[in-house]
Amino acid sequence: MKISFPAMRGQIGQREYYSCMMQLSVIPKMFTFRDWVEFRPEDREQRILVTKRVPGIAKYMLDNEDGYLFSSITASYKCNVTFKPIVEGSDLGLLEMDFDQANFVINDGQHRCAAIAHAVKENPALGEETISVLLFNYESRERVQQMFSDLNRFVVKTSKSLDILYDKRDPVSQATLRICELVPVFQGMVDKDAVSIGMRSPKLITLSALYDATQELFRANAILHEDETSVPALVQIGREFWQAVSDVMSDWRKVKAEHLRAVELRQESIASHAVVLRAIGAAGGELMKARPDDWKEVLRKLETINWSKQNHDWDGICIVANSVVSNRQARAATKAYIKRHFDLELSEAERRALQMPEIQKEVQELQNGGAGDQAPASAVVG
């Protein structure tokens, strides 16, 4: 059976290719997935399909049927194709092939193809929509490997801060951006581009750090429900909370007023680090839920915390080998430390997180003490 697709003929890298329009319902039939696991990496024509990625991409399509977007799929054909121009010499026409002989190697877009198949199965109406497919003639395994390398070598994932800045669907993203504008200490002090603050940056925090902290606030406060909580309601809660926090974080206000340079704050204190911001958001959310009437008064206990890097309380909590860390264990321990200052009940896991640094200190002191006791003895024996 012959099938044809609207196509445009072009040339790139001295090779002819076709840009086709294919209905999404055709994608699962035209592009099959080969399990490359049994092949050595050097013998594969494509990377192994990571199946756990597929449902997330399919959900993106199904949740955003009126606005999802994909880039072109790129594939190499291993079958005979015929290009029929609409008029002689035109680069516009139809690309025809035998369906039974159609054979493709996906150079770029196999996870998109798998997700499309998944989404169309869930919602057949999506099958009527189209996606552009770039088709190249299959030359050799070495050539398709080179194509894969060329297509992926210069791909750079955008920073999380930039993703948040441009995301108009996520209510937490929208709320966080409004909070940046409404809370005075954040105005002009949030880096909305980078995922981490540069060494000499005059900014106080990154947008991604504030987003994570605000999300923790909403989650801990049990108010983050996609279909129930409006963006204005989130903004109101987030603004009130971060304003109250900034009222007691004197170093933040000093940086905003240019009485302290941001670089100096980062060098000497953990007060603006992402791990602390996130812990404040998480602990603060639980505080607002547990003490809805006087949470602002309790929040003032943040003033009693010594945020200096020289404070040995942070050793093993969020400072390891003289460096601030922000892994999951550090976030949990820092949150527990702040909750303890708020006199909030700690979970068993949080109590263990706080005990671990203390145990490590005791062991270290015993080791140092033991060495100190042995030295005079050996001197006497000598």
> Do 149 and 197 fall into the same domain?
no
> Do 58 and 145 fall into the same domain?
yes
Asked whether residue 300 is assigned to any structural domain, the reply reads: yes
Last residue of a domain, one of 101, 119, 153: 153
- Mean pLDDT of all residues in 120-143: 95
Asked whether residue 174 is assigned to any structural domain, the reply reads: yes
Last residue of a domain, one of 153, 182, 209: 153
pLDDT digits (tens, 9 = 90+) for 59-81: 999 999 999 999 999 999 999 99
pLDDT reported for residue 248: 96
- Mean pLDDT of all residues in 305-322: 93
> Do 69 and 193 fall into the same domain?
no
> Do 138 and 254 fall into the same domain?
no
> Do 92 and 199 fall into the same domain?
no
Q: CA 336, CA 346: separation in Å to the nearest integer?
A: 7
> Do 304 and 228 fall into the same domain?
yes
Asked whether residue 187 is assigned to any structural domain, the reply reads: yes
Are the C-beta atoms of 277 and 210 separated by less than 8 Å?
yes
Asked whether residue 326 is assigned to any structural domain, the reply reads: yes
pLDDT digits (tens, 9 = 90+) for 148-174: 888 888 887 888 898 999 888 899 999
Range of the domain at 283: 160-365
pLDDT reported for residue 198: 85
Q: CA 113, CA 84: separation in Å to the nearest integer?
A: 26
CA distances from 309 to 99, 128, 271, 363 (A): 67, 59, 9, 22
> Do 290 and 214 fall into the same domain?
yes
Element (H, E) at 15: strand 15-23
Asked whether residue 254 is assigned to any structural domain, the reply reads: yes
pLDDT digits (tens, 9 = 90+) for 107-116: 999 999 999 9
pLDDT digits (tens, 9 = 90+) for 180-209: 999 999 999 999 998 888 889 999 999 999
> Do 360 and 211 fall into the same domain?
yes
- pLDDT of residue 379 exceeding 90: no
pLDDT digits (tens, 9 = 90+) for 11-35: 999 999 999 999 999 998 888 766 6
pLDDT reported for residue 304: 94
- pLDDT of residue 232 exceeding 60: yes
Say what the pTM is.
0.78
- pLDDT of residue 36 exceeding 60: no
- Mean pLDDT of all residues in 3-11: 95
> Do 188 and 98 fall into the same domain?
no
- pLDDT of residue 363 exceeding 80: no
**DSSP letter string over 87-141?**
STT-SEEEEEEEGGG--EEEEE-HHHHHHHHHHHHH-GGGGGSEEEEEEEE---H
pLDDT reported for residue 56: 95
> Do 18 and 87 fall into the same domain?
yes
Asked whether residue 207 is assigned to any structural domain, the reply reads: yes
Computed over every residue of the chain, the mean pLDDT equals 88
Last residue of a domain, one of 122, 153, 184: 153
- Mean pLDDT of all residues in 304-325: 93
Asked whether residue 382 is assigned to any structural domain, the reply reads: no
Q: CA 186, CA 237: separation in Å to the nearest integer?
A: 16
Asked whether residue 268 is assigned to any structural domain, the reply reads: yes
pLDDT reported for residue 35: 62
> Do 241 and 96 fall into the same domain?
no
- Nearest-10 Cα torsion for 166, 178, 261, 244: -140
- pLDDT of residue 282 exceeding 90: yes
> Do 91 and 205 fall into the same domain?
no
Number of domains making up the chain:
2
- pLDDT of residue 39 exceeding 70: no
